[in-house]
């Protein structure tokens, strides 16, 4: 096993080292404690949308096993724990009275974090909208922002001991995958619906922050963005222009409204042309908020080329396999230099106070043999990416923390249980946890 050479202490004593999970991917217990169905519970029942017809219902049973799982987090040396709150567990009807059992569950989870010396980082929305709200239009409905403010208020009033909050998890992800491409819940394929969802999510990330600031004035508030360096396939002007268009949707679509710049523009006015489908595309001041930090979640770069036959964006990805570069089990390119580049790119906006890496990690084809998982590829991955992170710090980027994705193998959306990202192996039949070699590597790294 490659031993850590970089020291965790080099990042500073106030740097947060954590692991991240989410409610829909880990909790299970979907019919217990007064919880109602989420859009993922319903979407997973469709034939052929999840690998091997997997369902999020059992997941990792974190709902019942959270105390033992938090002990694992502590034993591996982490000092912070990121999790999300299930909207369906807190507000089973989506927008009305709070569910006492749901409130108690998260209060106990938070208390356990504090008792173990783990700083809780709580995500308000991690993709699991209550199905009852989806039936009323979900993120495409003009009422969604009212519903979301109410949810944020209930959470803020009941979980005020939490001082680190993330409003939305990857808004570009759940709007594009769920409302435009239809490959994630709720499985919608509509340009008009996509634009409405984008507009409402851009308002929600600022609205949620305003509610949190009102009820928890001393909280440190941020939101998280999925991001990828977009690289032109060649120096040809058409490829460069295609990369700019993809960059608009992948990296710029939500951060620029948050920073008060409004929705991004490009040479062809793509967003502005699409806006004709969406008459409610306005309210720039509602989308702006001065966040305490921005969370970045990076897994791979994208190489793109011009593709005249693809409508609107006229761009296509050049797959890593075609370029013969190192990849994870998901086929995602491993490129630590690109990780450093995208961090630097966001820092250059100039209006961001601090960056936290709220997710980063890799899936590999792990094998449990004689009680061990020798995941050397994952260790090498973290070794490279943490070196790149430290290089960004040395260049002057203010970094507040790093969260590995993820604590344990879980429900990975459309991938079901096939993609294993965890530092801890989970036997889905017995729920037995086995720390992988990468988990022990992290323990050694954090000990230093």
Question: What is the rounded radius of gyration, in angstroms, for the C-alpha atoms of the chain?
Answer: 21
Active site (annotated) includes residue 359: yes
Q: Which of 27, 140, 359, 437 is catalytic?
A: 359
How many whole angstroms separate alpha carbon 392 and alpha carbon 374? 29
Residue-by-residue DSSP string for 98-151: --HHHHHHHHHHHHHHHHTTPEEEEEEESS--BHHHHTTTGGGSTTHHHHHHHH
Continuous segment of H or E residues that includes residue 201: helix 191-215
Residue 418 falls in the annotated catalytic set: no
Cα–Cα dist 280/199, whole Å: 8
Exposure of 8 in the CB half-sphere (CA atoms within 13 A):
22
For residue 12, which phi and psi values (nearest 5 degrees)?
105, 155
CB atoms within 10 A of CB 234: 12
3-state secondary structure of 40: helix
Distance CA 392, CA 71 (A): 31
Q: Residue 318: count other Cβ atoms within 10 Å of its Cβ.
A: 16
Task: Find out whether 123 and 18 touch, Cβ atoms under 8 Å.
Answer: no
Strand partners, 301: none
Strand boundaries in 293-431, DSSP class E: 293-298, 302-306, 315-317, 355-360, 368-369, 372-373, 399-405, 424-426
CA distances from 302 to 87, 188, 250, 323 (A): 32, 24, 10, 11
Distances (CA, A) of 389 to 225, 393, 396, 422, 441: 17, 6, 11, 20, 17
Catalytic residue among 170, 229, 256, 333: 170
Q: Which residues are catalytic, by number?
A: 170, 359
């Amino acid at each position: 096993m490659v031993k850590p050479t970089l020291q965790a202490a080099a990042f500073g004593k106030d740097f947060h080292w954590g692991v991240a999970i989410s409610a829909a991917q880990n909790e299970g217990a979907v019919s217990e404690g007064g919880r109602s169905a989420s859009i993922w519970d319903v979407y997973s029942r469709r034939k052929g949308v999840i690998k091997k017809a997997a369902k999020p219902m059992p997941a990792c049973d974190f709902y019942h096993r959270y105390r033992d799982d938090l002990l694992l987090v502590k034993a591996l040396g982490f000092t912070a724990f990121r999790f999300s709150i299930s909207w369906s567990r807190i507000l089973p009807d989506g927008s009305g009275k709070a569910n006492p059992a749901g409130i108690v569950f998260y209060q106990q989870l938070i208390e356990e974090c504090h008792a173990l010396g783990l700083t809780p980082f709580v995500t308000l929305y991690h993709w699991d909208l209550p199905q009852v709200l989806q039936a009323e239009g979900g993120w495409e409905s003009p009422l969604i922002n009212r519903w979301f403010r109410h949810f944020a208020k209930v959470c803020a009033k009941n979980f005020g001991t939490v001082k680190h909050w993330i409003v939305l998890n990857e808004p570009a992800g759940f709007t594009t995958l769920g409302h435009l491409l239809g490959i994630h819940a709720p499985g919608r394929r509509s340009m008009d619906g996509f634009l409405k969802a984008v507009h409402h999510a851009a308002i929600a990330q600022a609205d949620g922050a305003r509610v949190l600031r009102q009820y928890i004035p001393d909280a440190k508030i941020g939101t998280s963005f999925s991001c990828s360096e977009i690289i032109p396939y060649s120096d040809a002007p058409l490829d460069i222009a295609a990369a700019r268009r993809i960059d608009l949707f992948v990296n710029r679509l939500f951060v620029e409204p948050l920073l008060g710049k409004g929705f991004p523009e490009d040479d062809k006015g793509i967003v502005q042309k699409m806006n004709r489908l969406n008459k409610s595309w306005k309210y720039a001041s509602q989308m702006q908020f001065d966040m305490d930090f921005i969370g970045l979640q990076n897994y791979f770069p994208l190489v793109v080329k011009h593709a005249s036959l693809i409508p609107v964006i006229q761009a296509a990805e050049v797959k890593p396999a075609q370029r013969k570069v190192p990849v994870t089990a998901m086929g995602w390119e491993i490129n630590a230099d690109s990780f450093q580049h995208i961090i630097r790119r966001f820092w250059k906006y100039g209006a961001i106070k601090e960056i936290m890496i709220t997710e980063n990690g890799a899936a590999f084809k792990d094998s449990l043999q004689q009680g061990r998982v020798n995941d050397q590829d994952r260790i090498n991955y973290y070794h490279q990416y943490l070196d790149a992170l430290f290089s960004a710090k040395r260049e002057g980027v203010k970094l507040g923390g790093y969260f590995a994705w993820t604590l344990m193998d879980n429900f990975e959306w459309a991938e079901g249980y096939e993609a294993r990202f965890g530092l801890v192996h989970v036997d889905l039949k017995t729920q037995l946890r086995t720390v992988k070699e990468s988990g022990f590597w992290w323990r050694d790294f954090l000990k230093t």
